[in-house]
Structure 1
């Protein structure tokens, strides 16, 4: 259909949802193939959502199954994908990444928390195992009735991250002065040490034998409300009260970005806390940021 006079051509992003597509050939697939060709010739972006007939999976992994994952499980258990997937021993695994029930409470929907936990327990019980990132997460899931858990550690790319990335110039930009040949051990007003004495395990490899005149406390991650970062700022304020007046002040660095950044910056301003907000970091910048800190919070 030709454009009406005065109308401006607009590039569209189109999703086609179909239960029939190539390599099957019939009237439907021929029509869709011609439509796809036409849309691309007109400069539109097209995505097709449909069945993949050649993929015969050995294992199905549902990630954080809350909405789409349960629908897949329903289809599998109904036998829509063959009898192999209807038995309790079918090779279906799940992974737990996001604590949505707790998020519901944090955002004022506490009544939903037990309902969501019951739903999550029901869904994960249909899988052979549930992979989770840490022992604390596995323990929490077991207390919620999800017993088939396995730890799935993430690991660290040692080629990208390591103490050798420590950057004195970056620490200087944060307000830390590093001097060779000395190390101050902080004590609180009662005389008890707040930091461990220097040792091979606490001294940063690759720091060129420089010791710190100060300390960097780093939070790296998304700046969102559910991370409980207000508690972290409150704790930092208490730490400042414990440190003697003659001791160097620790520097607080937030590496990352997110919806809570503005409110966190305002909270730091109201508490008279001089925190650094770096914004989003990745690659070499993030590696230097990690290595140049002293405490991860």
Structure 2
């Protein structure tokens, strides 16, 4: 089997989509399956000979995402040589559309995956009127596919309610050896200015409007009035980074983008994972935090429901409520034993999320498409 991926993001860009597709390609390779990836030119550079880049342009409201418009001739030259058995449309923008057109013209089976709630993002970026148009396009786009992978039960129900067909849950896993409690190192806490007796709250992800970081900051201010020995670490970057830094809130530390090894150490060296986003289709970082032995404080919504078990491996709070989030954090700060117990169960839960099991769902879906067998709807 040969698989051609069309995506608007890929390594060395670091995000949930790029890391997941890279891991999927490694899984396919271990099963003797060749693949190539067609992506926009990011300007970062990519030495992978199986990755093809096209001239790209930045989106004004989402500058990290670059769009490319490859010509039909460019795509045809690459795919005529590679001869894919199936095309996987990772994202729905221009690269995905190019792959869709090529596959339809050449009668190649089409798989697509839904990773990001872009229709919901429109409101966060002051374009609420675009949400309806986004959904109209997404419904049309995904209903051209023979199979649509989505990461969680909650996301599946949303897509089904919108009228998207051929849905199948492709969950996520975590590398339990890489994200591991034993990676805890006092040195990294010292590096970021966290004393031995201080509680380190950690957020990992994009610093962007759709992540509801203002809720986390407001919650932190409430907690800070009660406890002086806490600090909040913000690991990541994004379009709102400069704004949040300009607030100059004491004891909030911005790390910027970290390489994966340093990030894994930071997870294990923190005390509580705090995640305010309500727009997650899965929430990979929640699972990474759990695998690192951290109790989680997050809203019980979207894809976060797949992993957060209130009172077992963390505490859920009412969405968009700084006070409720603060109360959950305060409960964990007050009870060191509870933090430890939740951290142990968080790790145990993460150990049940094995990548190979989730990837086998994709491989089976590919074969069903290629063999024209009916895919059982989730």
TM interval, shorter chain, is: 0.5 to 0.7
Change (3 A) 1:106 1:265: same
Q: Distance in 2 between matches of 1:148 and 1:138?
A: 10
Q: Secondary structure at the match of 1:217?
A: strand
For residue 147 of structure 1, report the CA deviation from its aligned partner: 4.4
Match of 1:106 in 2: 124
Greater helix content: 2
Q: Pairwise mapping of residues 140-155 of structure 1 onto structure 2 (< 5 A)?
A: 140-155=158-173
Match of 1:57 in 2: 84
Q: Distance in 2 between matches of 1:97 and 1:278?
A: 26
Q: Distance in 1 between matches of 2:171 and 2:205?
A: 18
Q: Pairwise mapping of residues 175-194 of structure 1 onto structure 2 (< 5 A)?
A: 175-178=193-196
- Provide structure 1 residue ranges, at least 5 long, that are not aligned to the other structure: 1-12, 20-47, 86-90, 179-212
2:242 paired residue among 241, 262, 273: 262
2:138 paired residue among 115, 120, 142: 120
Does 2:230 match 1:238?
A: no
Does 2:258 match 1:278?
A: no
Alpha-carbon contact 1:174-1:251 (below 8 Å) kept? no
Match of 2:106 in 1: 81
- CA radius of gyration, larger in: 1
Alpha-carbon contact 1:167-1:292 (below 8 Å) kept? yes
1:171 paired residue among 181, 184, 189: 189
- Provide structure 2 residue ranges, at least 5 long, that are not aligned to the other structure: 1-52, 56-69, 275-378
Match of 1:200 in 2: none
Alpha-carbon contact 1:255-1:280 (below 8 Å) kept? yes
Match of 1:160 in 2: 178
Match of 1:217 in 2: 201
Match of 1:288 in 2: 265
For residue 240 of structure 1, report the CA deviation from its aligned partner: 2.8
Q: TM-score, normalised by structure 1?
A: 0.61
Q: CA RMSD in A?
A: 2.8
For residue 217 of structure 1, report the CA deviation from its aligned partner: 1.0
Q: Deviations over 1:31-75 (max 9, x none)?
A: xxxxxxxxxxxxxxxxx6542324332221111223342344345
